[in-house]
Amino acid sequence: MSDVTTRVKRTEEEEVEQESEQSTACPECGGNLISDTEHGETVCEECGLVVDEDQVDRGPEWRAFDSKEKNEKSRVGAPTTNTMHDKGLSTNIDWRNKDAYGNSLGSRQREKMQRLRKWNERFRTRDSKERNLKQALGEIDRMASALGLPNNVRETASVIYRRALDEDLLPGRSIEGVSTACVYAAARQAGVPRSLDEIADVSRVEKSEVARTYRYVVRELNLEVKPADPESYVPRFASGLDLSDEAEHRARELLQTAKEKGVHSGKSPVGLAAAAVYAAALLTNEKTTQAEVSEVADISEVTIRNRYHELLEAEEAPAMA
């Protein structure tokens, strides 16, 4: 009986496999089938045969021509996000005392809404862990905004902080310190690094604590953070100084030559990037001063001068040989 059952199962599996192959292959020429969602058809990529038509469109029945119109017509809420302590799944009661038509609420209704807001806030943060997370994610959002970091960095920083909280890394360390370290790590992972000085400027903790907490978080969570590449700072510095694309490209070339010669080893990537931008501006006849570069890069003029000479020496080395 067991042999018969096994054969029946094998036969059924073979039939399923044949059906799946037929559903992805053209019955005419055996080519790949693709779905044309705009016209509701399944078409062969090779011969153009329409295999299926009048498919159900699972998208919205309305059309929108800009983001504002799309937001007005959409009937679903915002997507879940790690940047909110409840991932955006709770109810928010607007602070403006107005109804759906924009009319002001009466005094009794205002008092009622105030009580509802208070209880809603209490239910959203019922325990110390949620209160901790709410405060930390608020700090991450504040610092990311001040540093001009994109949303993907905020999401990554929030995920890192959640991991640190779950693995009990916070006792003995401040919420601000750990959240700052998470922003620093997330920015480096995303390829849009900020210097430790820039991070410390927007943080509520000292630079030394940020560096110490960052090393601790990276070590304990086994985060893969590559050394900062000087080239990743170039677009931001060039934009801050209103330099041309030619100057930015020349700065990248100087840094690539420095890497080939090993000049970058042991040097601050911020200093190298600032010096490369300054040198590139001079080489492309664009007016800029060391003081302007120093202000944009938040690094001393002495460092810029030293790295500037090293970059030019590396650039001229082949010709001298």
Q: Which residues are annotated as a binding site for Zn(2+)?
A: 26, 29, 44, 47
- Find all residues with CB under 8 Å of 131, minimum gap 6, and list them: 125
Q: Match 């699972």 to its residue by tokens.
A: 58
Q: Over the range 78-88, which residues count as b (16 or more CB within 10 Å of their CB) and which as e?
A: eeeebbbbeee
Nearest-angstrom CA–CA distance, 53 and 30: 19
Could you tell me which residues are annotated as the binding site?
26, 29, 44, 47
Nearest-angstrom CA–CA distance, 275 and 20: 60
Nearest-angstrom CA–CA distance, 93 and 117: 6
Q: Are 193 and 232 in contact (CB under 8 A)?
A: yes
Nearest-angstrom CA–CA distance, 178 and 210: 8
- Find all residues with CB under 8 Å of 145, minimum gap 6, and list them: none
Nearest-angstrom CA–CA distance, 13 and 145: 55
Q: How far is Cα of residue 124 from the mean position of the Cα atoms in its chain?
A: 26
Q: Are 132 and 85 in contact (CB under 8 A)?
A: no
